[in-house]
Amino acid sequence: MEKFLVARFDVYSNPGNHKLTTPYLLDVQADLFDSLDSRMVIPLRSMDNFPNVKLPTRLTPVLTIMGKEYLLEVPKMGAVPKRVLKTPVVSLVDDQIKIISALDFLFQGY
């Protein structure tokens, strides 16, 4: 059986129906739970979908992937089967403080 390696803060192409507006999914699940068959992910939506819209940046920070800006839609996170997450596109580990702060704000209010 092939071992499937995933890592927290890796970005994957979205295999779902909304890949045009939401091309990526960010894995935010702790690596400690790698043996589970699902991963908690947050959609990353192209900022092209939000022209002239004021967004709550503390809850939905804007992150850069390959020179393009994407909105991290923290309130829309959910679990996906691990098998749908193929090869990572990039890691956003350097943005982990921003990402964890958004998660804390959603769950703790601070």
Q: What is the CATH number of the domain that holds 68?
A: 2.30.30.110
* 42 is a domain residue: yes
* 57 is a domain residue: yes
pLDDT bucket at 4, cuts 50 / 70 / 90: low
Q: What are phi and psi of 27, to 5 degrees?
A: -80, 120
Predicted TM-score of the model (pTM): 0.91
* 86 is a domain residue: yes
Asked whether residue 2 carries a pLDDT value surpassing 80, the answer given is no
Question: For 15-19, 29-33, 60-64, 80-84, which range has the lowest pLDDT when averaged over its residues?
Answer: 15-19
For residue 110, how many C-alpha atoms fall within 13 Å in the half-sphere facing its CB? 0
* 66 is a domain residue: yes
Q: Which domain holds residue 65?
A: 10-108
* 1 is a domain residue: no
* 5 is a domain residue: no
Question: For 62-66, 95-99, 106-110, which range has the lowest pLDDT when averaged over its residues?
Answer: 106-110
For all residues of the chain together, what is the average pLDDT? 92
Number of domains composing the chain? 1
